[in-house]
């Protein structure tokens, strides 16, 4: 293995740049040439490929987003597109790949690896934390802290009035951000896609708080909740509780994708980036690198894509007990 | 003047506690007793009044919200309610008032002062900055920085994709937060209640950016815009631009009311709190204290309520030039 | 078990209040009365003990420090002091204790538990993370992020000049904060108490960077380094490298003890607080509760005090590779 | 005027990039070509000059430091050096300059302008705020908030113990950062170069606090205080007060030069950048652009360098009253 190509794909996550930096410097340390493929699979097909050196990744460890950019790519879903991509890699002499991204990225990498037998290792980067094979994904800790900071701000003002606040955080298929920011922010209720929460249960939780003379309440909602988005849920609650005058809604949206990565995200990203290089050197391929119980582990793309990482039920239980 | 009563009323704003602290310590410095009236006019009517000393306001300078709490009060709008309130003040021997709040607070204070001839000075605390008689209101600088931080986070991720982001910030009648966070965040367009911006103008600004191959664009919208809220505006834009696939919306909401107050908000609040005490000692009344051109000034409640503070047109011009 | 007393002792750490909140609400959930002992062992001896309810711990989850206060206490080191403390607990009917603190706190708790047979469970709260029996201590994640933010700020400016920056972070006996903020901040060198780093090694690392035309370098030093504090080390380096004009020193000090606790610190604290209550209910005693590999575990005070938690050598290795 | 050259010089300050962005986009708006001179006067002499366009300054408004870099330059102090610099400017066709920096930068600009008659406008960028001709300099608001955040963190922990904290902030010749972060942070005492504060006065202030049973005290010291740095002052206090066991020192250092610029710094920088371009178009030269009382103003380099901007005495008075 002499030349590694590295790229980011799918939604960006804070810490991706730290992972890239670790890949580049890990390669240099081991005497491997390293190329950056810009705009993910799209750049691979179009040959948007540039050599990287130590300076290329100076001063990016603290920056969100991805300096290699990211893009969607329909063409890579077709064998012809992948053929073109592979030809480009050959042209540059790239004989192994590191793919930083989420489920969709790994699905592409798996097919590509099976079709063209080029060694690939994936690094899990997504704020949603919904990837099997690693305790945490890059970007998750930052996103939770961003969401938490919003909950904190609302709690500052909530304390001064009688109000119900609904805060919608990210997580279309996964309640990780909602549950952690909900516990961390002392929310009265958390609604996640993994468990069914009815509007009546929300109302009960709110009423329990009022009966203890809480002056205001916070409900954190993951965007993928089956009862709808935060506006819809707030309307449903309002419709059933009379005299509920003051309801306010916050939709955080992509605010959660940005922000300076936290220490844990940078350290995780650095560790995964370096381990991906070392994994390729050790002959590993078709796998995603992760950290489980503070140990570096490798999981087949197949498992990482199809297996479910369950939400810690202990945390769901805590929301109820701690909002007493 | 021997006993001053102080209260917060209306929507809370970061820095109100710093103002309260300055009122209390200013009173102590000048040998005046000071009482806190909890829950604004409501507490005045109900006699929810407590003595304050130096320790009462320890360690609150950095906290958002208001430790004196705030509430709405229908009863104070009636002469009977105000009579009850005045009787309570007499009972406690309170012979002057300091009211921390916004327009609504000062309207109540003005009537009360005219009816019962008790000296009152107002301190402008509202994140909207829409009060005549002071360059800035307490809480505005913090709210702008909170909104800006959201714009920054979105810019982090915007840089990696082709997208249009609509961010709704506070300001029902005033575009101050929108214009300042828009300039500070390098937005492509800012929509404020003070000026009419059509959907076509938004689309033109976006298209100008695309023609310069900008990969993503940010539009900051004050909640009071006549074209609707951020969701509605985004739908209108989508309806008229074909092939505009990727639009995302953030509604910050009450996140902007919280957060640790900035240095400028704390210093302004400290200065206004102390000056309010000194103003009462100097025999001033029926006025709001403010800072204009770094000088403490007093403006009659009448002017502060009815006169308009115009948005700096120079800033509106800057948005367009700087997003080139 | 009917009444639990809870206290904080030793140096405070961000998240202690979140742990206290979880203890109080956990007790309420299980129908146990709960008392707060103010100023740690000192308050126990002096009878500074107050009943706590759900409202007592409202709105403290996000606040650093400890609302129960902390203090040193010489008297508790003597059997007579401990006897007085025990008598006070009996007077209040307190039949079990939860101690939030570090090594010193647990040493006291161990002796007390052995002498008076009152059930005690400890919760590890210290920014240093140097306690055996838990992957992380409460406050560590926050402290690392605070230190990291300082390194980031310095990197911002370092990028513009030719300079060497020495940053001293906390950790008298432990390099955890130094190593994590060093990796997260992309430092050129980290000096920790666990390993011997000579001044010559520092100079070599700096010169390696200069030879790669790095314009500036950052050295993170744990306060307990055997070569001295940051000023002393900077002087030693200056003495041996001629033409090294520009050296700057930052001593963060207690800045690292404060700050809003991170999501991870709050969640850890909440989990440990609740688990401590549940541990006492299950008959556990003389143990510290911790989280290892995401599982709640109990470790005897003896082990938690005497056993060493080693610094992950993998992280030390990473500093060198990633600063290439 | 067809080609403007822009550079940053001296110590960097957060917001310099925002000023650069405004200069570049202002030039584009007015149809003027714009070149970046890297490393200040050094780059001018060495011909390190690059064309800038709208994209060159994308996504830098939120970044501290200066993308044009900064450097010291002995050679520019000699007429020969300045001649070389001027010849380079001629080679590129640059017929006007915008200099972003502090006193030293303007001193160089003044001589250069007088010697070679090339139009120059200066933009005040320094965290110290010690420049005559503008209410605030770029970077000051950010630096104050950074220092304030450190004071806040220490206050969090100070509240839990009996301690005296000495915090040294920047300001060799100017107490602006010290006084503002001291008031904002509720410090017991502030020591600034502008006024003489004896060690005995410090001790008196501390003892006054102790007599009111304050549990801890914070003293903010500007680095240029005549009694020495924070360590030296803490030692002097310790020597004279017996039983003063617990003194802690923080030296913030260059942490204050970094950090994401605040909204006010970005808006000020944007306004000054654009106004500098417009000033050159209007034929202004040999002047610094500033904002006084919210109006753009131009001050001759001579005045801006030699005249003193006094510290607001009202603020000094406030420290004492508010720490009661």
Residue C154 C-alpha, separation from nearest chain D C-alpha, in angstroms: 5
CA pair distance A261, A65, nearest whole angstrom: 10
Task: Note whether D160 contacts B: Cβ–Cβ < 8 A.
Answer: no
Q: Six-digit token pair at D297?
A: 């103003």
The chains found to touch B (3+ Cβ pairs under 8 angstroms) are A, D
What part of D 247-286 touches C (C-beta under 8 Å)? 248-259
Of A157, A165, A257, the CB nearest to B64: A157
Question: Considering only CB atoms, which chain D residues are within 8 Å of C161?
Answer: 12, 70-71
Taking alpha carbons only, the member of C249, C193, C242, C256 closest to residue C218 is: C249
Question: Considering only CB atoms, which chain C residues are within 8 Å of D69?
Answer: 160
Name the active-site residue from D48, D128, D130, D141. D128
Model confidence at D263: pLDDT above 80: yes
pLDDT computed for residue B166 by the predictor: 96
Question: Considering only CB atoms, which chain D residues are within 8 Å of C253?
Answer: 154, 165, 248-251
Question: Considering only CB atoms, which chain A residues are within 8 Å of C182?
Answer: none
DSSP C260: P
Which segments in chain A show pLDDT lower than 70? 160-161, 245
CA pair distance B178, D263, nearest whole angstrom: 12
State yes or no: B11 annotated in a binding site.
yes
DSSP C62: T
Answer whether D53's CB lies under 8 Å from D28's CB.
yes
SS3 track for chain D: CCEEEEEECCCCCCCHHHHHHHHHHHHHHCCCEEEEECCHHHHHHHCCEEECCHHHHCCCCCCCCCCCCCCCCCHHHCHHHHHHHHHHHHHHCCCEEEEEECHHHHHHHHHHHHHHCCCEEEEEECCCCCCCCCCCCECHHHHHHHHHHHHHHHHHHHCCCCEEEEEEECCCCCCHHHHHHHHHHCCCEEECCCCCCCHHHHHHHHHHHHHCCCCEEEEEEECCCCCCCHHHHHHHHHHHCCCCCCEEEEECHHHHHCCCCCHHHHHHHHHHHHHHHHHHHCCCCCEEEEEECCEEEEEEHHHHHHCCCCCCHHHHHHHHHHCC
pLDDT computed for residue B246 by the predictor: 85
B173-227: per-residue pLDDT in tens? 899 999 999 999 999 999 999 889 999 999 998 888 888 777 789 999 999 888 8
The chains found to touch A (3+ Cβ pairs under 8 angstroms) are B, C
Q: Six-digit token pair at D146?
A: 């950074």
Which of C160, C169, C220, C249 has the highest number of chain D CBs within 10 A, making it the mutation to test binding with D?
C160
Question: Considering only CB atoms, which chain B residues are within 8 Å of D159?
Answer: 59
pLDDT computed for residue A211 by the predictor: 80
Name the active-site residue from B48, B87, B95, B128. B128
Answer whether A61's CB lies under 8 Å from C182's CB.
no
pLDDT computed for residue D222 by the predictor: 96
Of C26, C180, C267, the CB nearest to A184: C267
Of C63, C157, C254, the CB nearest to D65: C157
Q: Which of B125-134, C151-160, D194-203 has the lowest mean pLDDT?
A: C151-160
CA pair distance A216, A221, nearest whole angstrom: 17
**Nearest-by-CA chain C residue for A145:** C263
Q: Which of C312-321, D129-138, D171-180 has the lowest mean pLDDT?
A: C312-321
| Length reported for chain A | 324
What part of A 195-214 touches C (C-beta under 8 Å)? 212, 214
Domains of chain B with bracketed CATH: 3-139+261-306 (3.40.50.450), 142-258 (3.40.50.460)
Task: Note whether B95 contacts D: Cβ–Cβ < 8 A.
Answer: no
Q: Is A253 helix (H, G, I), strand (E, B) or coil?
A: helix
Distances (CA, A) of B81 to B46, B116, C209: 10, 12, 74
Question: Considering only CB atoms, which chain D residues are within 8 Å of B142?
Answer: none
Distances (CA, A) of C269 to A181, C68, C265, C274: 14, 15, 6, 9
Within chain C, what is the greatest distance between any pair of CA atoms? 70
Residue D80 C-alpha, separation from nearest chain B C-alpha, in angstroms: 38
Active site residue D128: yes
Please give the annotated binding residues of A for ATP, written as ranges: 11, 72-73, 102-105
What part of B 46-85 touches A (C-beta under 8 Å)? 63-66, 69-71
Taking alpha carbons only, the member of B169, B179, B180, B176 closest to residue B222 is: B169
Answer whether B298's CB lies under 8 Å from B288's CB.
yes
Residue B36 C-alpha, separation from nearest chain D C-alpha, in angstroms: 17
Of D159, D250, D254, the CB nearest to C252: D250
The bridge status of strand B49-51 relative to strand B33-37 is antiparallel
CA pair distance B217, C308, nearest whole angstrom: 53
Which of D15, D16, D153 has the highest number of chain C CBs within 10 A, making it the mutation to test binding with C?
D153
Task: Note whether A152 contacts C: Cβ–Cβ < 8 A.
Answer: yes
CA pair distance B78, B35, nearest whole angstrom: 24
Model confidence at D111: pLDDT above 90: yes
DSSP B173: S
Q: Is A43 helix (H, G, I), strand (E, B) or coil?
A: helix
Buried b / exposed e along B116-132 (16+ C-beta atoms within 10 A): bebbbbbbbbbbbbbbb
CA pair distance A160, D105, nearest whole angstrom: 49
Q: Six-digit token pair at A12?
A: 């960006």
Residue A83 C-alpha, separation from nearest chain C C-alpha, in angstroms: 34
Task: Note whether B40 contacts A: Cβ–Cβ < 8 A.
Answer: no
- Number of A–C residue contacts, CB under 8 Å: 114
Radius of gyration of chain D from Cα atoms? 22
In this structure, what is the dihedral angle of CA atoms B130, D263, B318, B124, given to the nearest 10 degrees?
Answer: 10
A254 and B250 within 8 Å at the Cβ level: the answer is: yes
List the end-to-end C-alpha distance of chain A, in Å, as a whole number: 58
A59 and C141 within 8 Å at the Cβ level: the answer is: no
CA pair distance A145, A240, nearest whole angstrom: 33
State yes or no: C1 annotated in a binding site.
no
Residue B70 C-alpha, separation from nearest chain D C-alpha, in angstroms: 24
Model confidence at D10: pLDDT above 80: yes
Which of A157, A217, A251, A262 has the highest number of chain B CBs within 10 A, making it the mutation to test binding with B?
A157
**Nearest-by-CA chain A residue for C142:** A263
Of A263, A266, A324, the CB nearest to C28: A324
Please state the rounded mean pLDDT for residues D292-310: 95
Answer whether B318's CB lies under 8 Å from D274's CB.
yes
State yes or no: C187 annotated in a binding site.
yes
Answer whether D17's CB lies under 8 Å from D66's CB.
yes
State yes or no: C186 annotated in a binding site.
yes
When the pLDDT of each residue in chain B is averaged and rounded to a whole number, the result is 94
The stretches of A159-198 forming alpha helices (DSSP H) are 176-185
Task: Note whether D135 contacts B: Cβ–Cβ < 8 A.
Answer: yes
Residue A68 C-alpha, separation from nearest chain C C-alpha, in angstroms: 19
State yes or no: B102 annotated in a binding site.
yes
Name the active-site residue from C128, C141, C225, C265. C128
| Residue D245 pLDDT class (50, 70, 90 cuts) | low
Q: Six-digit token pair at B219?
A: 């539009």
Answer whether A248's CB lies under 8 Å from A163's CB.
yes
Question: Considering only CB atoms, which chain B residues are within 8 Å of A258?
Answer: 152-157
State yes or no: C73 annotated in a binding site.
yes
Q: Is B218 helix (H, G, I), strand (E, B) or coil?
A: strand
- Mean pLDDT, consecutive 10-residue stretches, chain C (324 aa), reads 95 97 97 97 97 94 95 93 98 98 96 96 97 98 98 86 90 94 95 92 88 84 90 93 84 96 98 98 98 96 95 86 86
Answer whether D145's CB lies under 8 Å from B146's CB.
no
| Region of residue B90 (left: phi > 0; alpha: psi -120 to 50; beta: else) | alpha
Q: Six-digit token pair at A24?
A: 């580049």
pLDDT computed for residue A9 by the predictor: 95
Q: What are phi and psi of D300, to 5 degrees?
A: -65, 150
Burial of B51 (C-beta count, 10 Å sphere; 0-12/13-18/19+): exposed
C274 and A318 within 8 Å at the Cβ level: the answer is: yes
Q: Six-digit token pair at C98?
A: 């939860």
Answer whether B193's CB lies under 8 Å from B225's CB.
yes
């Amino acid at each position: 293995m002499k030349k590694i190509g590295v790229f980011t794909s799918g939604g960006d996550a804070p810490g991706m740049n730290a992972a890239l930096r670790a890949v580049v410097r890990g390669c240099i340390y081991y005497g491997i040439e390293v190329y950056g493929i810009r705009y993910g699979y799209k750049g691979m097909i179009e040959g948007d490929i540039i050599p990287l050196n130590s300076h290329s990744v100076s001063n990016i460890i603290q920056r969100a987003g991805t300096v290699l950019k990211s893009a969607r790519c329909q063409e890579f879903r077709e064998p012809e597109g992948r053929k073109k991509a592979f030809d480009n890699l050959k042209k540059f002499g790239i004989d192994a790949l590191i793919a930083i991204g989420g489920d969709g990225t790994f699905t592409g990498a798996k097919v590509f690896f099976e079709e063209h037998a080029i060694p690939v290792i994936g690094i899990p980067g997504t704020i949603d934390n919904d990837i099997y094979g690693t305790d945490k994904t890059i970007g998750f800790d930052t996103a939770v802290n961003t969401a938490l900071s919003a909950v904190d701000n609302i709690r500052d003002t909530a304390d001064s009035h009688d109000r119900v606040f609904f805060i919608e955080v990210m997580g279309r298929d996964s309640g990780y951000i909602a549950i952690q920011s909900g516990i961390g922010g002392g929310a009265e209720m958390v609604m996640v896609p993994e468990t069914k929460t009815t509007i009546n249960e929300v109302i009960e939780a709110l009423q329990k708080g009022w009966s203890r003379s809480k002056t205001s309440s916070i409900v954190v909602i993951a965007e993928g909740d089956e009862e709808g988005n935060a506006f819809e849920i707030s309307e449903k609650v309002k419709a059933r509780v009379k005299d509920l005058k003051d309801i306010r809604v916050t939709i955080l949206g992509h605010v959660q994708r940005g922000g300076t990565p936290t220490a844990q995200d940078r350290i995780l990203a650095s560790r995964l980036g370096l381990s991906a290089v070392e994994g390729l050197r050790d002959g590993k391929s078709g796998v995603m690198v992760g950290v489980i119980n503070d140990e570096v582990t490798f999981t087949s793309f197949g498992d990482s894509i199809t297996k479910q990482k369950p939400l810690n039920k202990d945390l769901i239980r805590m929301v109820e007990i701690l909002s007493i």
